Amino acid sequence: MTALTAPAPARSARAAVRNRHLAGLLTARGLTGLALVGTIALAGLLAPLLTGHDPDAQGPLALAGPSAEHPLGTDDLGRDLLSRVLHGITTDLALTFGAVPVGALTGCSLALLAATHRWADTAVQRAFDLVLAFPGLILALAVTAVLGPGRWPVFIVIALAEIPLFGRQLRSGILVQREREYALAARVGGASRARVLLRHVLPNAVDPLVVQTAVALSVGVFIEGAMSFLGLGVRPPEPTLGSILSQSVGYLATHPTFAAAPLAVTTALVLGFTLIAEALNRGIRR
Amino acid sequence: MTASPPRRTVLRVTDLTVTFDGATDGTSAVDGVGFELAAGDTLGLVGESGSGKSTTALALLHMLPAGGRITAGTVELAGQDLATLPESALRAVRGRRIAMVFQDPMSSLNPVLTIGRQLDEALRAHGTRPDKRERAARAVELLDLVGIPDAADRLRDHPHQFSGGQRQHVMIALALANDAEVLVADEPTTALDPTVQRQILRLLTRINRETGTALVVISHDLGVIAQTCRRLLVMRDGRVVESGGTADVLAEPRHPYTKQLLAAVPRLEAPSEAAANSVPGPEPLLTVTGLRKTYGSRRRAVTALDGVDLVLHPGETLGLVGESGSGKSTLARALVQAHAPSGGGIRFRGEEFGHGGERAARREVQLVFQDPYSSLNPRMTVGRIIAEPLIAHRLGDRPARARRVAELLEQVGLDPDSADRYPRAFSGGQRQRIGIARALAPEPSVLICDEPVSALDVSVQAQVLDLLARLQRELGLALLFIAHDLAVVRQVSHRIAVMHRGRIVETGPADRVVTAPEHPYTAELLAAVPRLDARPAALSTRSTA
Does A175 reside within a domain? yes
Residue B415: phi, psi to the nearest 5? -70, 125
Say whether pLDDT at A7 is over 60.
no
Verify that B259 and B187 share a domain, yes or no: yes
- Supply the pLDDT for residue B516: 92
Verify that B60 and B155 share a domain, yes or no: no
Q: Please, what is the end-to-end C-alpha distance for chain A in angstroms?
A: 21
The residue type of B337 is Q
Does A110 reside within a domain? yes
Say whether pLDDT at A161 is over 80.
yes
Does B398 reside within a domain? no
Q: Which domain holds residue B32?
A: 6-97+180-268+531-545
Most confident region among A16-30, A43-57, A182-196, B125-139 by mean pLDDT: A182-196
Count of CB atoms situated within 10 Å of the CB of B173? 26
Q: Is pTM beyond 0.90 here?
A: no
Chain A residues with CB under 8 Å of B460 CB are: none
Does B299 reside within a domain? yes
Q: Please, what is the end-to-end C-alpha distance for chain B in angstroms?
A: 25
Domain count, chain A: 1
- Indicate the residue of A12, A182, A186 with minimum beta-carbon distance to B374: A182
Check: CB of residue A161 under 8 Å from CB of residue A223.
Answer: yes
Q: Which of A82, A63, A83 lies closest to A74 in space, CA to CA?
A: A63
- Supply the pLDDT for residue B477: 92
Spatial distance between the Cα atoms of A175 and B477, rounded to a whole number of angstroms:
35
Q: How confident is the model at residue B178 (pLDDT cuts 50, 70, 90)?
A: confident
Q: Give the CA angle between residues A242, A245, A248 to the nearest 5°.
A: 155
Verify that B451 and B503 share a domain, yes or no: yes
3-state DSSP assignment of residue B323: coil
- Indicate the residue of A184, A191, A203 with minimum beta-carbon distance to B338: A184
Residue B96: phi, psi to the nearest 5? -85, -45
- Of the three residues B149, B177, B205, the one that is the final residue of a domain is B177
**How would you classify residue B322: left for phi > 0, otherwise alpha for psi between -120 and 50, otherwise beta?**
left
Say whether pLDDT at A5 is over 60.
no
- CATH code for position A171: 1.10.3720.10
Verify that B89 and B119 share a domain, yes or no: no
SS (H, E, C) A70-105: CCCCECCCCCEHHHHHHHHHHHHHHHHHHHHHHHHH
Does A2 reside within a domain? no
Spatial distance between the Cα atoms of B30 and A262, rounded to a whole number of angstroms:
58
Does A75 reside within a domain? no
Q: How confident is the model at residue B544 (pLDDT cuts 50, 70, 90)?
A: very low
Verify that B48 and B190 share a domain, yes or no: yes
Does A89 reside within a domain? yes
Does B291 reside within a domain? yes
Q: Do A17 and B378 touch (CB under 8 A)?
A: yes
Q: How confident is the model at residue B146 (pLDDT cuts 50, 70, 90)?
A: confident
Spatial distance between the Cα atoms of B183 and B54, rounded to a whole number of angstroms:
14
Q: Which domain holds residue A17?
A: 12-51+81-285
pLDDT tens track for B251-308? 889 999 999 888 888 888 888 888 888 888 888 999 999 999 988 777 777 888 999 9
The residue type of B509 is P
Residue of A nearest to B381 (CA): A14
Instruction: Look at strands B231-236 and B239-245 and give their pairing.
Output: antiparallel
Q: How confident is the model at residue A40 (pLDDT cuts 50, 70, 90)?
A: very high
pLDDT tens track for A112-122? 999 988 999 99
Q: Which of A79, A96, A78 lies closest to A37 in space, CA to CA?
A: A96
Smallest CA–CA separation between A187 and chain B, in Å? 7
DSSP B45: E
Spatial distance between the Cα atoms of B67 and B82, rounded to a whole number of angstroms:
19
pLDDT tens track for B221-250? 888 888 889 999 999 988 999 999 998 898
- Supply the pLDDT for residue B5: 53
Of A52-66, A173-187, B49-63, least confident by mean pLDDT is A52-66
Does A210 reside within a domain? yes
Verify that B166 and B185 share a domain, yes or no: no
The residues pairing with B507 across neighbouring beta strands, listed in sequence order, are B497
| Angle between the N-to-C axes of helices B458-475 and B428-440, in degrees from 0 to 180, rounded to the nearest 10 | 20
Q: Do B55 and A185 touch (CB under 8 A)?
A: no
- Of the three residues B156, B177, B198, the one that is the final residue of a domain is B177
- Report in angstroms the alpha-carbon separations of B330 from A208, A218, B275, B337, B541: 32, 47, 28, 10, 40
DSSP string, B113-159: S-HHHHHHHHHHTTSS---HHHHHHHHHHHHHHTT-TTHHHHTT--G
Report the percentage of chain B scoring pLDDT > 70.
95
- Report in angstroms the alpha-carbon separations of A98 from A157, A216, A273, A276, B354: 12, 12, 16, 19, 51
pLDDT tens track for A66-107? 887 888 888 888 888 889 999 999 989 999 999 999 999 999
Q: Within 13 Å of residue B370, how many CA atoms lie on the same side as its CB?
A: 12
Smallest CA–CA separation between A20 and chain B, in Å? 13
Verify that B538 and B522 share a domain, yes or no: no
Count of CB atoms situated within 10 Å of the CB of B459? 15
Chain A residues with CB under 8 Å of B424 CB are: 13, 16-17
The residue type of B493 is S
- Supply the pLDDT for residue A96: 92
Spatial distance between the Cα atoms of B522 and B519, rounded to a whole number of angstroms:
5
Verify that B238 and B366 share a domain, yes or no: no
Check: CB of residue A222 under 8 Å from CB of residue A241.
Answer: no
Q: Is the peptide bond before A135 cis (omega within 30 degrees of 0)?
A: no
Verify that B455 and B363 share a domain, yes or no: yes
Verify that B127 and B228 share a domain, yes or no: no
Say whether pLDDT at A3 is over 70.
no
Spatial distance between the Cα atoms of B243 and B261, rounded to a whole number of angstroms:
14
Chain A residues with CB under 8 Å of B369 CB are: 181, 184-185
Say whether pLDDT at A16 is over 60.
no
Spatial distance between the Cα atoms of A280 and B423, rounded to a whole number of angstroms:
24
Q: Which of A135, A134, A132, A139 lies closest to A163 in space, CA to CA?
A: A132
The residue type of B98 is I
Domain count, chain B: 3
DSSP A197: I
Verify that B121 and B169 share a domain, yes or no: yes
- CATH code for position B15: 3.40.50.300
- Of the three residues B148, B177, B206, the one that is the final residue of a domain is B177
Q: Which of B270, B267, B274, B264 lies closest to B472 in space, CA to CA?
A: B274
Q: What's the rounded mean pLDDT across residues B165-171?
A: 86
Does A220 reside within a domain? yes
Q: What's the rounded mean pLDDT across residues B353-360?
A: 82
Q: Which of A2, A18, A20, A202 to mutate to test the interface with B (most CBs of B within 10 A)?
A: A2
A201-210: b (≥16 Cβ within 10 Å) or e:
bbebbbbbbb
Residue of A nearest to B358 (CA): A190
| The CA-based dihedral angle spanning residues A67, A73, A76, A82, taken in that order and rounded to the nearest 10 degrees | -140
Does A96 reside within a domain? yes
List Cβ neighbours of A79 (8 Å cut-off, separation of 6 or more).
A53, A55, A56, A57, A58, A59
Residue of A nearest to B422 (CA): A13
Spatial distance between the Cα atoms of B366 and B447, rounded to a whole number of angstroms:
5
Verify that B460 and B364 share a domain, yes or no: yes
ipTM above 0.90, yes or no: no
Q: Do A185 and B369 touch (CB under 8 A)?
A: yes
Say whether pLDDT at A165 is over 60.
yes
- Report in angstroms the alpha-carbon separations of B169 from B129, B185, B209, B408: 23, 12, 17, 46
Residue B196: phi, psi to the nearest 5? -70, -40
Spatial distance between the Cα atoms of A201 and A194, rounded to a whole number of angstroms:
10
